Every structure is written in structure tokens, then in C-alpha cells.
Amino acid sequence: MRIYLVILICLLGPIFSFGQKGKEYFLIDSIDYEAMAPNDKAVLDSLLPLYHNAKTDTAKLRVLDVLSSSLGDSKTWHQYSLLVYDKTRSMLSDSASFSHSDLDLVKNYFGNSLQNIGLYYTLHGDKNKALDCYEKSLKVLRETGNKLGISGTLNNMSVVFNQEGNIQKALDYEFQSLKLDEEMGDKVMTANALNNIGRMFIDQDDTVKALLYLKKGVAILEKLKYDLGLAYSFTNIAVTYRNEKNYPLALEYFQKSFFHWSKLGDKHGYATTLLNVGITYLRRANDIPAMEDTSYSLAMQNLTKARDVFEEIKDWEGLSNTLQGMSRVYFHENKMALAEETGKRALKIGQEIKFPSTIQSASEVLYKIYSKEKKWQDALAMHELFVQMRDSIFSEETHKSTFKQQMKYDYEKQEALKTVEHQKELAVAEEGKKRQQIISYAIGVGLLMVALFAVFIFNRLRATRKQKMLIEEQKKIVDQKNKHITDSINYAKRIQDSILPSEEELTKCFPDHFVFFQPKDIVSGDFYWMSKQGNKTILALADCTGHGVPGAFMSMIGNTLLNEVVNEQKIIQPAEILNHLNEGIVHALHQESRSQDDGMDITLCLFDHTTNILYFAGANHSLYIINERSLSKIEGDYFSIGSMFGKKQTLFTQKEIRLQKNTSIFLSSDGYPDQPGGEKGKKFMTKKFEELLLSISGYPINEQEDVLKKTFESWKNTRQQVDDVLVLGIKV
């Protein structure tokens, strides 16, 4: 086990320096003592004299076992692990000469050597060889009943399966490791296993279980005052809260992580936490517009510090991710030259280290930048690269390749700069190979891809008459497919429009009203719905996850469920309707058993025309009431229908508003305030939207819609609409 052995080295202490010795002394070839890290020199200086002074073979093996598990340089400890493996295998071939206790001892050293060799293969991305070594190690260690060794091997196997994406198998091995750690009473290993399990549940989007295991581990580590374990655990807890958009708690736990990384003097951990804090402020800026300026400023402060440290320690993955974050901040600040320069550097590094996820994120940033700058050819190239990386990440073959490249990089980043240069050469070669394998997504990019296909054919087969006919035939096929797709979507729009309340139905219930509805695409993820129940009217406005076709699917589900709950089950109280709608979405999308984050935000109102009372419930939506030139924002509950909140036992609340004469009521999705525009390309923002509603509330109802529409188009100008827009106004 590699984790405990530093303590023994410290007890032994440095004795001599043997930098001038050769293989006879060091026992292995190709060792450059003077170039080694100070800690590794201390290990050799302490243990090699003990090896040469040992009187028995088992005593020599004991020293080699500690030595191979204590060195930091993977090439060196791998050579010593192979030495232990060769010696123990030779000794086990003549096992009859050993006593039972000595035989078990040799077997344990043999099993440990296999575990270390497996770890070496893991770092080099050779999963099959790594798992083969781990399986052999398990077999031997189980024969001797070595629980510590078995636990370590199970943990290493869990790491391999987790990196592969086989979370279920990774959890199975980690739980086996945890059980052994608890049986041994090993607190550090128990906390480590709990932290690993918690991290895997984060990847599964199971927040409740993730926090449960992470906090169990923290409780143990705090008693032990184990800084390294606490630094990792607090980081994982912070990431969990960030995924839940609980930014105050996320930042609180990142601060705790800072304390322990600083105490340890670990620059990599410190820089990674700075990067995480920067990302947290970026997400807060997107989710809480009122804090946008402050959040972007704090994001840039932390990202700049992270960049400096990553450059110092030559952590290229961390540097690329940090540069992407900085590019996003520059983009939102409309500093396009800096945004492009920083984004291109992030992409270049990602391509050099060959991380598809890093390349995907960098190309996404550059796509947005080039689109805003109207560099359409560059934008298209970045979009195609983004799609290529996105698809490759989810393919089995590339997923395995990603695992190998990432593990290989974790090893190679400890090497000299010449190794990095070698990686660059490999990256160029690999990129050239991949260009020959790119599959054309003809339908996705339409006629442009046909043109590209034509160029490809031209270069490969020369300009022949047969080629021209082939290209024309391909063009006809793609044109026909595009027409079929567009016709299908247009037909879907007719269906979607038909289920919306008609103008006549709305006018009967609300004579003074308007609907400003402007989908981003042909079909929409926003919709409105109405039902008349006696002297009461139920009115809903919903914003489903996504827009276009995915959003339209969700809107159809929402519309169907509302009809079922209100018109069939006769449930009319807004909060109760939302509770049933939430249950229906969770059940329809099987969110009870799947990690899926689709759902909707919705405003739901019940108008009692007899008492003139409005009952309101909202799922991450607010209602605007304007009376006597005063605007009141009635906030709903902060959680959405479905999504990660849908699996929780959450009940919606209801509010009652007594309406006065000439009161204006506005329902809206977030598409209007979230639209970028103006001179600086910033969002319209909720505050400005509320001011606009207040300013138009005194106008006749038909003019209110006109002002909203003209203001939106003027603000957007030539920029692309980013989301569906739906605003519904009523005057009573």
C-alpha cells in the first residue's frame, strides 16, 4: 500500500547520500539520482543501506516493498516494483523451503508488487493490464488474508472503473473496500473510501447520498486532523452544493478547502480551488442576474490567481480550464479581443494534451465569441469541433481513449518539458488522423455540409463528370431530408398552436389582455394554458427545459398533465395543482430512478371572478401586480417542477391577492429579461423588465403589447434571440 509508507521513512530518517553509486548499489538500471526529487533521494538514502545490511531474503524483500511503495517518481518505483515481483515469484517457485508464516509474508510482497505494477499501468492508461494485475493481486492477498492490501487493490480497481464511466462497478468495489477498512478500524482509509463514494454519487447527480457519505468522511478526518483528506472532502462538498446552485454554502466549503491546501503548501490543490471558486462565481452570475457584475469581477480575480499558479507548476489541464473561464468573463464584459485570445490559448492547450472535454469547452467558448463578432466561418469551425468532441466523449471507443489520455497525462505532467514537447507531436499526429475519420453531419448543417462534401469528393476523386452527378444526387437527398424535417417541425407547430387557448377563449375570461409570444425556433418550450371552472378561471404560463423540439416535447407533457389534474381530477387550487404536476412530471420522465434534470418553471393563477381574489403559486416564477403606479413582485417557490427538485418531497405554497379595479397583472417566462442586447451585449435584466412593465401599465392593453415587442426588437437589434419569449398581460 503506497499511502502509509511515508511515516516509516520519516522514522528511519536520512542517513547518507549515495549519488555516485551504480546499479550494484541501486539495484536497477537508468536511475539519475542527482535529478531526483529531494523526497525520493531521502527514501533511497534511508532504505538502500538497510537493504544491503539485511541478513535474510525476507528482510531484503521487506525493505524493497517499502521502497517501491514510497517513491514518488513512477518510473523509479515501477522498476523497484518489478524487482520485487521477480524476486518473490522466484522464491514462490520454491515454496517448500519456507515456513507457513514466511510463505505468507512473501505472498504479501508478491501481491503488493502486483498492485503497484497495476497502478503504473493505470497511470499509463492501459486498463486491461492494470485490471489483470489487480485481479492477480487480489487472489494472492486473499490467500493470506491481508485485508489492508485487499482494500487498497479494491480501491484502485474502483478508480479504473470510475474513470471508464462504469459507476455501478466502481461503487461495488469501493463499498467492498469500505467494509474492509471499517473491519480493520483504519480511520484514514475509511474516510478515504467514504470520500470516493461521495464523489461518485456527485457524478450520479445523487446529491443526498453524496453529501451523506462526504460528511461521514469529514467527521472522521476532523477527529484525526488529517489536512489532505479534509481538503479533498471539503472540495467535493462544495462542488455538490454548487451543482444544487446553493452558492453561499459552496463558497463556504471552498474556503474551508483553501485553509487546508494552504496549510499543506499544496499549490496544485490551492490553484484548483481558486479555479473552482471562479467557476462558482461564473455560475452565480448566470443564475442570479442581480449579482452579475459583482460575480464576474470576483470570478476574474480568482481565475487570474489560478492561472498564475497553474503556469508556475505547469499543470496544463488546469491552465486550459482556467483560461476558458477567463474567456467567458471577457466575453460578458464585451472585451472581445481578450476573449478570443484567451479562448484560443485554452483550445491550443486542450489539443496539445488531447483532452476531448477540455477541447469541447474551449470550442464552445470560441463559437460564441466568433458568432458575436460575425466571423461565421470561424464560428462554424468551432461548432463542428464542439459537436465532434461532444459525440466522441459519449462513444465507447473514444471514452476509453479519453481515459487513457487523461491517466497518461497525469503521469507525464511530472516529467521534464521534453515529454510535453513529445506530447505535442503526438497531438498533431492524432489530430491529423482524426481529420480523416470525421463523419459528415449532413442534416445538422444542411447545404453547407453538402458543399463541404463536394469539396472533399473533389480533392479525393478529382473533378470528373461522374463526381458532379454524385454530388448533385447527394444534394437532392439532403435537400429532401431537410424539407421533410422542416415540414415535420412546422406541422408540430400547428399541433402545438392548436392546444394553446384561443384568442376568443381568453377574451371571454379576460376582456383586456395581450399575449406577446415569440419562440426562439419554430416550436417552443414556453406555453400558456387556461381552464374555466364555473365562476373561476385557472391560468398558467410555463417555461420548459430547453427550447425548440426538446422544449416542445416538454410543453406537450405539461399541457396534458394540466388537463388531467384540473379538467379531469377537478383540482383547482394552484399549490395543489403544482404538487400533482410535479408528481406527474417525475413519473412521466422516470426521474425517481434516473439522473435527469428536465422540468419546467411555471406561474399558476386561480381567478375567482365573484370575490375578485387571485390565488397564486409559482415554481421558480414570480407574478407582477401593478396598482396605482406601484409594482409588487409576488415570488413563488424557488424550486422548479421536476428536475433535481422533483425527486424530493417538496410541497408548493400558495398566496392570496385581493384585486382592485384597474389592476394590471403580468405573467412572464425568463426569455425577455435574459435576452442580450444594447451597446454592450448584456442581458436586459429583471430590474429593467420590471421598470418597463410599470411604465406601460397605464397604456391601453393593445399598446402594451406593441411597446413590449418594439422594445425587445430594439434591444436585441441584430443579435440572435437566445430563448423563447412569453409575456401575458391582464387588466381587471
pLDDT tens digit sequence for 632-685:
999 999 888 986 444 456 789 999 999 998 899 999 999 999 999 998 889 999
Task: Read off the pLDDT of each residue in 345-360 and give the average, rounded to a whole number.
Answer: 82
Band of the pLDDT at 408, cuts 50, 70, 90?
A: very low
Per-residue pLDDT at 22 exceeds 80? no
Compute the average pLDDT of residues 382-398: 66
What DSSP line would sit under 611-674, residue for residue? TTEEEEEEES-EEEEEETTEEEEEE-BSS-EEGGGTTS------EEEEPPTT-EEEEE-STTTT
Query: Of 338, 332, 388, which is closest to residue 359 (Cα–Cα)?
Result: 388
Nearest to 521, CA basis, from 543, 547, 541, 487: 547
* Average pLDDT of span 35-53: 79
- pLDDT reported for residue 189: 85
Q: Average pLDDT in the 151-156 region?
A: 88
pLDDT above 70 (res 323): yes
Looking at the chain, the whole-number percentage of residues with pLDDT higher than 70 is 81
**pLDDT given at position 390:** 75
Q: Which residue has the cell 451543482?
A: 243
What does the domain layout of the chain look like in residue ranges? 1-145, 159-265, 281-431, 451-493, 504-731
The CATH class that applies to domain 159-265 reads: mainly alpha
CA dihedral 470, 474, 475, 477 (to 10 degrees): 140
Residue 597 identity: D
C-alpha cell recorded at residue 67: 521502497
The pLDDT-based confidence of 456 (bands split at 50, 70, 90) is very low
Enumerate residues 6+ apart whose C-beta is below 8 A from 150. 138, 141, 142, 180
Largest CA distance in the chain: 103
Cell triple for 211: 453529501
pLDDT at residue 269 tops 50: yes
Is it the case that residue 693 has pLDDT exceeding 60?
yes
- Mean pLDDT along residues 301-321: 88
Asked if pLDDT for residue 119 goes beyond 50, the answer is: yes
- In this prediction, residues 437-451 reach a mean pLDDT of 39
Residues 716/678, Cβ–Cβ less than 8 Å: no
162-171 average pLDDT score:
81
CATH number belonging to domain 504-731: 3.60.40.10
Contact between residue 197 and residue 174 where contact means Cβ atoms under 8 Å apart = yes
Question: CB count, 10 Å around CB of 572?
Answer: 18
Question: What cell was used for 83?
Answer: 524487482
**Phi/psi zone of residue 125: left (φ > 0), alpha (ψ -120 to 50 degrees), beta?**
left
Question: What is the band of 595 on the pLDDT scale with cuts at 50, 70, 90?
Answer: low
The values of phi and psi at residue 446, to 5°, are 60, -135
On the question of a common fold for 159-265 and 281-431, the answer reads yes
The CA angle 619-621-622, to the nearest 5 degrees, is: 130
Distance set, CA 41 to CA 19, 26, 414, 693 (Å): 9, 12, 16, 72
Rounded Cα gap, residues 405 and 686, in angstroms: 44
Q: How far is CA 644 from CA 254, 498, 504, 543, in A?
A: 23, 31, 38, 16
Assess whether pLDDT exceeds 80 at residue 15: no
**Which CATH number applies to 281-431: 3.40.50.1370, 1.10.3720.10, 1.25.40.10, 3.40.50.720?**
1.25.40.10
CB atoms near residue 328 (< 10 Å)? 27
Mean pLDDT of 8-30: 54
Instruction: State the average pLDDT over residues 474-502.
Output: 72
pTM for this entry? 0.44
What are the beta bridge partners of residue 600?
544, 641
